[in-house]
Structure 1
Amino acid sequence: MLSREVKERLREYETPFYLYDMELLRRTVECALREADRYGYRLHYAMKANNDRRIMEFIASCGMGADCVSGNEVRRAIETGFAPKDIVYAGVGKKDSEIIYALRQGIFAFNCESKNELVVIDALARELGVVADVALRINPDIDPHTHSYITTGLSENKFGISPREITDVVGMLGDLRNIDIMGLHFHIGSQITDLGVFAELCRKVNASYRWFTEEGFRITDVNVGGGLGVDYDVPEMHPVPDFAAYFAVFAQGLDLPASVGVHFELGRSLVAQCGELISTVLFTKVSGLGDDIALIDASMTELLRPALYHSRHAIENLTGTGPERAYTIGGTVCESSDIFARDLSLPELRRGDLLSIKTAGAYGAAMASRYNLHDLPQAVFSDEL
């Protein structure tokens, strides 16, 4: 990974900070676009994964669309070069002011998740004298075999329109004159590594498309979401995800007319491996149980995933040498959940050693907070070193 190659330069920056490998980002985005283009698929960057302006400007320059889940994300997407006609606005709860802003920008589509949301968008569009293009988000009730906090397509999840609501929704659409139902939207979860899950999704997409067309709808676009997982354990082995295998599942499984546009929302798979969180060892100590603890200057305020999901990230001692020891790696926040790893074997850690927490380009800086009045982490880019 990049940090190993430039570790001497990293001393020039105050930790903790995010280090982004822009060359790896380029290779990843180009690979995703190339493999998607084999089938004429349209990609949208799920900017909730990482909303750094430089990263977004680069992805926009490659011709990708944007997937947004808030009004501020729609605004950031436009500011960083994404064309409004390539922006989809998802999100289970959209404020009136956010909907109005997006309507005025003329975005590609709203992904709507409930009948009440449809009523609100119709009313706001009528006040503006426009027609809103809408894709109905369907909850397909599929288990994505991932962490329960990042499942989005199970019946108990808050996302999407449940099958039991579909008939009611269709029955009311005739009264909503400022909405054009042009698409269907699906999203079943994140960090999915079992491609068979996506084959099951294809079957649900096909069934939904047939049902809506039989009901008289003209569906021009289908958005199948994203969720492709990455290798957190040994990132060097798979710096670029297997986009070829991923898109091939949909090419084989989808049964849609060639005229229907197929859209994807990729976030984690594009940016996760290009980012590392660089931190400095502050102190080492021994717990009451005799465990070695290393306290670093990064914490859950910079990278929340381990505390929130009990997720694991590969960690490397960039500057230390000597025999390996097992450590608990803890951050500075006054919470017992502020732990990055337990029983992690690393070359002996000393005050001042630099650590790299890998695969941190997605849901890292984007989820950072100022809890304990911490400063937000800065970003360092490979092409600026």
Structure 2
Amino acid sequence: MHHFNERDGVLYAEDVPLSAIAEAVGTPCYVYSAATFARHVRVFTEALESAGVPHLVCYAMKANSNQAVLSLVGALGAGVDVVSGGELKRALAAGIPANRVVFSGVGKTDRELADALDAGIYCFNVESESELAALSAIAAEKGLTAPVSLRVNPDVTPNTHAKISTGQKETKFGIPVSRAREIYAQAAALPGIMVSGVDMHIGSQITSLSPFDHAFTVMGDLLDALRADGHAITHVDLGGGLGVPYEDARADPPRPEDYAALVARHSNRFGCTVVVEPGRVIAANAGVLLTRVVHRKEAEEKTFIVVDAAMNDLIRPTLYDAHHEIRAVVPRGGTELVDVVGPVCETGDYLAQGRTMPRTERGDLLAIMSAGAYGAVQSSTYNTRTLAAEVMVSGDRFDVVRRPMPPEDQIALDHVPDWIGEAARR
């Protein structure tokens, strides 16, 4: 659920009309509901508690890493899953305790490994033998011990978009499950390494429990083998991936309670703490992208609604063929079949195609729903467009939690060397 609802003919974020935010901040801008973020963290945590699963919830902050979001998540007792040194710095700056941080990702640099070691994070989710060797060398040089899980690729089909499928053997993620025992034996013999867990993550926007059930069974089989080999496994990391309802016409994905019940059925076999990394399910429906209609364009084949948001603000539709519901902030009545497009000079710059939606005119405000995950974090300044602001709402209050970056600020980041004129004359 979320806290974006219509009152008296106007769409609100909690107790603030979106039209008031557009007037104060401008468009396009992202608008987040603090109540929705908080509810989703609590629902996920309470589902695991009710199911009797010993757990650590580590929000996958790649979904939305705004400092206000991280501070709220941390205040609710959750940890975070980071995938870069920059995300680690963001998490620590937001007050997330290092012992509630897990570090994932296939390309951790030596500097990132060293910084995470110094911080004292909960666990490194190691993805290759090369990374394992590098981490061992760095930890040994520092006289520290790195707690390690190996990310195991179970070769499970998650039935999601190919670009967010991570648990099949042809992807870049993890080590083959067939080699897991061999590489765990290597890890146990390395200086500076403490084997503490096993990690899996099979993909994102998964709308059925069956791929999870398959992966958890593979995890249980592997745990039995590793313990037989003498490894003391104190936690399993099940990753994230639970989907959200982007489209009303689509059947709802499993609820966190259903997911927790499935985890509980496997947790007795696991016999240790279960780490989960929800991201999209926490953030997606907690945010919208607010945009204004710039023009209506009646072409021969179709009608285009040109808005001031673009693919640089929300790349998911063109990158993942993603569907986002689009609602009128102040509905006029009636519907029409349109393409909603932005001003960027790319044919792929669209937010919806062939969509039946409320009729709109120039100047109207639209809310692109379920944009709280993988929206602002993937945005850019392509075409020297202003980087959109982010706004957080709580009750009847709102604040800008990321200021916009206009062209002047972008230009100021550039440097023209003194020798450019000379280079032009050559």
TM-score of Structure 1 vs Structure 2, range by shorter chain:
over 0.9
- Kindly state the Cα deviation for residue 29 of structure 1 after the two structures are TM-superposed: 1.4
Q: Select which of 246, 253, 278 maps to 1:232.
A: 246
Q: Give the aligned residue type for 1:275.
A: G
Length-normalised TM-score, structure 1:
0.95
- Kindly state the Cα deviation for residue 215 of structure 1 after the two structures are TM-superposed: 1.3
Change in Cα spacing, 1:341 to 1:257, as seen in structure 2 (3 Å) is closer
**Secondary structure of the corresponding residue to residue 67 of structure 1:** strand
- Kindly state the Cα deviation for residue 348 of structure 1 after the two structures are TM-superposed: 2.2
**Secondary structure of the corresponding residue to residue 63 of structure 2:** coil
1:32 aligns with 2:44: yes
Q: Give the aligned residue type for 1:216.
A: G
**Structure 1 partner of 2:217:** 203
Q: Select which of 285, 294, 312 maps to 1:282.
A: 294
- Kindly state the Cα deviation for residue 254 of structure 1 after the two structures are TM-superposed: 3.9
- Kindly state the Cα deviation for residue 256 of structure 1 after the two structures are TM-superposed: 2.5
- Kindly state the Cα deviation for residue 237 of structure 1 after the two structures are TM-superposed: 10
- Kindly state the Cα deviation for residue 75 of structure 1 after the two structures are TM-superposed: 1.0
- Kindly state the Cα deviation for residue 2 of structure 1 after the two structures are TM-superposed: 2.1
Q: Which segment drifts farther, 180-189 or 196-205?
A: 196-205
**Secondary structure of the corresponding residue to residue 213 of structure 2:** helix
**Structure 1 partner of 2:367:** 356
**Structure 2 partner of 1:304:** 315
Structure 2: stretches of 5+ with no match in the other structure? 6-10, 399-426
- Kindly state the Cα deviation for residue 188 of structure 1 after the two structures are TM-superposed: 0.2
Distance 1:170 1:85 in 2: 23
Q: Select which of 332, 344, 351 maps to 1:340.
A: 351
Task: Tell me if the contact between 1:70 and 1:98 (Cα under 8 Å) persists in the aligned partners.
Answer: yes
Listed one character per residue, the Cα deviations across residues 264-321 of structure 1 (whole Å, up to 9, x for unaligned) are 00100011101000000011112242x0001111111111110100110000122241
Q: CA RMSD, aligned part only?
A: 1.9
Distance 2:284 2:250 in 1: 12
Task: Tell me if the contact between 1:320 and 1:350 (Cα under 8 Å) persists in the aligned partners.
Answer: no
Q: Select which of 45, 55, 66 maps to 2:59.
A: 45
- Kindly state the Cα deviation for residue 243 of structure 1 after the two structures are TM-superposed: 1.0
Distance 1:118 1:93 in 2: 12
Q: Percent identity among equivalent residues?
A: 35
Task: Tell me if the contact between 1:87 and 1:109 (Cα under 8 Å) persists in the aligned partners.
Answer: yes
Equivalent residue pairs, number: 382
Larger radius of gyration: 2
Distance 1:237 1:358 in 2: 17
Distance 1:50 1:237 in 2: 25
Structure 1: stretches of 5+ with no match in the other structure? none
**Structure 2 partner of 1:2:** 4
Distance 1:173 1:96 in 2: 18
Distance 1:346 1:257 in 2: 48
**Structure 1 partner of 2:257:** 244
- Kindly state the Cα deviation for residue 11 of structure 1 after the two structures are TM-superposed: 3.5
Distance 1:322 1:261 in 2: 52
**Secondary structure of the corresponding residue to residue 175 of structure 2:** coil
- Kindly state the Cα deviation for residue 30 of structure 1 after the two structures are TM-superposed: 1.3
Distance 1:118 1:160 in 2: 12
Task: Tell me if the contact between 1:36 and 1:43 (Cα under 8 Å) persists in the aligned partners.
Answer: no
Task: Tell me if the contact between 2:223 and 2:270 (Cα under 8 Å) persists in the aligned partners.
Answer: no
Length-normalised TM-score, structure 2:
0.86
1:79 aligns with 2:81: no
